[in-house]
Amino acid sequence: MIERSNISRHNQQVIEYFDQTHNDYRRLWGIDRHLGLHCGFFDESHRRHDAAVMNMNRVLAETARISPGDRVLDAGCGVGGSAIWLAENINNIRVTGVNINQMQVALANKHARRRDVQSSVQFHVADFAQTGMADQFFDVVWALESMCYTDDKQVFLDEAYRLLKPGGRLVIADGFLTRDDLGHKERKIVERWCRGWAIPNVLTVRRFQQQLREAGFRTVEFRDVTRHVTPSSRRIYVGSLLFYPLGLLLYWAGLRNEIQTQGIASGYYQYVARKTGLGVYGICCARKA
């Protein structure tokens, strides 16, 4: 449990964002069905939203070469979808999920009980950049669309390195920028994309790879999988076009708050960033020597 007074202002904004938008993720994203707060991975065999969301777990598990008996840290575990998927699909796996959002941790525990996987998974309220867990405890650190929420990515990467055993893997799926020499208009697009989703900043692919090496990781594989998340990116964009006018009306009527309204606007700008070539979605696997 984190003392409330020890939570940074930024992390409080992230907690608030997920608390306030929980019903939108339920109604518009379907998290009660698939338990995933991410874009999924669409391919020939996984063309539908729910199937793609589950498929992302398989893709990351294969990328990180997770095998029976591994200990995995799910850093920023949402409502527990990936941890539960791992428990149901890989023998003798032990997954610890951490999340700064207390409401989501309570839901993750509830889902784990319902799916009868409590003996393989545990969820705690903790900051993934400062877990307080033992050195070299995990075979894999898994961060699915969670690293982007931390303001200092280097602190998280250093912590992941510390927590991994030698030979351990860090697997990350997230959004990145293709370059940092942004013009005024491009900077505004990225700012509007990030602001409504409580994302403090987005790294370029180059800077991210540099930071991984600064943390000590040696083998770094990065795959641009933007086309595999494009259907989700488009779905969020279309949703923002349809619901933003209604969201504004409800905001003016006092029925939705600013966080909920800005969240919809970000859905528009994330797509513009991708369409204009500024944003990419990557899956990365880095190994501790």
What string of DSSP letters covers 54-108?
HHHHHHHHHHTT--TT-EEEEES-TTSHHHHHHHHHSTT-EEEEEES-HHHHHHH
* CA dihedral of 38, 39, 44, 49, whole degrees rounded to 10: 80
Distance of closest approach, residue 98 Cβ to ligand SAM, in angstroms: 5
Give the x/- contact pattern for ligand SAM in 37-56, rule: CB under 6 A: xx------------------
Residue 123 binding ligand SAM, by CB under 6 A = no
Residue 109 binding ligand SAM, by CB under 6 A = no
Place of tokens 């209604």: 246
CB nearer ligand SAM, residue 115 or residue 206: 115
CA 129, 133, 139, 144 torsion-angle sign? negative
Pairing of strands 164-177, 279-287: antiparallel
Distance of closest approach, residue 27 Cβ to ligand SAM, in angstroms: 17
What are the structure tokens assigned to 269, written together? 């700008």
Read off the amino acid at residue 214.
E
Residue 144 binding ligand SAM, by CB under 6 A = yes
The C-alpha atoms of residue 63 and residue 92 are separated, in whole angstroms, by 19
Residue 267 binding ligand SAM, by CB under 6 A = no
Residue 266 binding ligand SAM, by CB under 6 A = no
What are the structure tokens assigned to 139, written together? 């075979």
CB nearer ligand SAM, residue 103 or residue 272: 103
Contact region with ligand SAM (CB under 6 A), list: 122-130, 201-209, 234-242, 280-288: 122-130
The C-alpha atoms of residue 38 and residue 53 are separated, in whole angstroms, by 7
Distance of closest approach, residue 14 Cβ to ligand SAM, in angstroms: 5
Backbone phi, then psi, for 280, in 5-degree steps?
-130, 160
Cβ–Cβ under 8 Å, residues 9 and 252: no
Of 111, 126, 109, 37, the residue nearest 73 (C-alpha): 126
CA distances from 92 to 51, 72, 86, 95, 98 (A): 24, 11, 10, 10, 20
Contact region with ligand SAM (CB under 6 A), list: 78-86, 108-116, 262-270, 281-289: 78-86
Residues 146-205 binding ligand SAM (CB under 6 A) are 146, 149-150
Residue 263 binding ligand SAM, by CB under 6 A = no
Residue 95 binding ligand SAM, by CB under 6 A = no
Residue 34 binding ligand SAM, by CB under 6 A = no
Contacts with ligand SAM: how many residues (CB under 6 A)? 24
Distance of closest approach, residue 132 Cβ to ligand SAM, in angstroms: 12
Contact region with ligand SAM (CB under 6 A), list: 71-79, 160-168, 175-183, 209-217: 71-79
Which of 104, 240, 266, 270 is the binder for ligand SAM (CB under 6 A)?
104
The C-alpha atoms of residue 284 and residue 21 are separated, in whole angstroms, by 28
Contact region with ligand SAM (CB under 6 A), list: 34-42, 226-234, 236-244, 251-259: 34-42
Which of 78, 168, 175, 267 is the binder for ligand SAM (CB under 6 A)?
78
Q: What are the residues binding ligand SAM (CB under 6 A)?
A: 11, 14, 18, 36-38, 76-78, 81-82, 98-101, 104, 127-129, 144-146, 149-150
